[in-house]
Structure 1
């Protein structure tokens, strides 16, 4: 199979580590960015910095620049988000059997396992692969073997997967709400034989199970303070993230991680967190 990918050049923080984690396994990477360096919410983006990082990683000349105009002031940020991803997916789909759609703060620690699941999705005729991600809330210190993080969990601290959308799709799939696709036929992989994402319906079927260590690692809110504020401002979910209470809770839980973990059983989802040690794949970015 020919595997392509697309990258949204907007957030430089984990970009190099993310692209490197699957670069050797794909044939082509479409680099989508707003030519005016404007985000979905109208704020400025460090696009030039992202392009410099991508150029340094692209030792085999696989990356194809694809500028466009993706900020529409008359549309909601999530609609702008979805429109850019759809454009990038359509461009990356040319000549491909499957297209990876990982965000630039998502690291693939086990590309062999991931591509084996793409093969299984292909074999059963699915056109979207739902692959589990470990959602990291903040980095709270060092630990033997890597960094220590607050990670999303179940109410009693078991690993819980996150599914922001299929991480691989066939060309021609229609996206909705960022990189989700309600019309696609999904092949779902999880960390246990039943689904572990409490955001989605309990009856969602699980077709394959992988070890927790093979899940994509999503460094979603792992940022220095200043970058965290910027991420809240440019995100497609800026309306929810920009509320002062969201930032205040992030600061408090980062400063007192044990309190956040011990309070998990008495809190409501999504404030269920556990402490995890993550190997240093992205520690050098």
Structure 2
């Protein structure tokens, strides 16, 4: 069984780009929403009635559950609250299944590759199997203008997304064995309007991790004339964001179509670590 969980907050509208990419392939989807409509910074947000109506219209196979709880605690650090919410969501999803945690602004490409890969590794759902975390690669969108998108290149930033028995210790980073996989996920990330970016940096889990005002200034100044001057500019980690590439696309739907056609359609490669785990499982050790 494969379940997907989403954290729903101020940027919930992005989920309507993300859900169609995975909906036909997973068994259950859980949307976690703060019952008081509070962000991890304690700011208020609204979820319109139209949101739930659209979710209901999309949920033709009745796969989607709404999980409401109190995810904000006054005085707690934003990242601690994010980690706490992810663990609560994981508990709500239950055991004995593959668990995916996908952010609303993450869009899986050619998702059938992942389904095939997980089915081939069902042995990892046995209670005797070790805790494992599969880490695909982000295709990070940094900014959008009227002609297209500025995209981080090369795509080398792995992130945790799929787990057999997660115990989150920092955001989506979980205890257990990390296994990188050659599968790419679009991350809309910073490719938002100025208003959306300001809301994001005032409410996300990284609010205290770096000088967000300074970094916002760099984002605001980026354009088609100077984007080639941006080198190794990730605000926290060196070596992740080497440079930028510009791809023409009138909207995110057109960009997704272009990237689905150009991403590798070959099966996900099996790492040497996973081969060893398979052998141990086969031998019963």
TM-score, length-scaled by structure 1: 0.76
In structure 1, the residue matched to 2:111 is 111
Instruction: Tell me the residue number matched to 1:6.
Output: 5
Whether 1:168 and 2:162 are equivalent positions in the alignment is yes
**Whole-Å Cα distance in 1 between the matches of residues 44 and 215 of structure 2?**
22
1:184 alignment partner, one of 156, 176, 180: 176
Report which structure shows greater RCO (CA 8 Å, sep ≥6). 1
Q: Is the Cα contact below 8 Å between 2:201 and 2:212 reproduced in 1?
A: no
CA radius of gyration, larger in: 2
What is the CA-CA distance between 1:271 and the residue it aligns to?
5.2
**What secondary structure, in the 3-state scheme, does the structure 1 residue paired with 2:42 have?**
coil
Deviations 1:83-106 (A, max 9, x none): 111111121134x52011111100
- Hey, what's the Cα distance between the residues in 2 that align with 1:48 and 1:242? 32
- Runs (4 or more) in structure 1 with deviation over 6 Å come to 265-268
Can you give the 5+ residue segments of structure 2 that lack an aligned partner in the other structure? 257-285
- Residue number in structure 1 paired with 2:63: 62
Pick from 239, 243, 261: which aligns with 2:228?
261
Distance in 2 (alpha carbons) for counterparts of 1:109 and 1:248: 31
Residue 33 of structure 1 is matched in structure 2 by 33
Q: Which residue of 2 aligns with 1:127?
A: 132
Is the 2:105–2:187 contact (alpha carbons within 8 Å) kept by the matching residues of 1?
A: yes
* RMSD of Structure 2 on Structure 1 (CA): 2.7
**In structure 1, how many angstroms separate the alpha carbons of the residues matched to 2:254 and 2:198?**
21
1:271/1:40 CA distance change after superposition, 3 Å:
same
State the 1:269 CA deviation: 4.3
CA offsets, 1:204-235, max 9 Å, x none? Answer: xxxxxx5xxxx110001111111111111110
Residues 78 and 178 in structure 1, CA contact (< 8 A), matched pair in contact too: yes
How many aligned positions are there? 245
Which of residues 191, 195, 205 is equivalent to 1:226? 195
Contact 1:4 1:98 in 2 (8 A): yes
Does residue 73 of the first structure (1) align with residue 39 of the second (2)?
A: no
User: Separation in 2 of the partners of 1:113 and 1:84?
Assistant: 28
Taking the aligned partners of 2:255 and 2:141, their CA distance within structure 1 comes to 17
Q: Return the alpha-carbon distance in structure 2 between the equivalents of residues 266 and 107 of structure 1.
A: 23
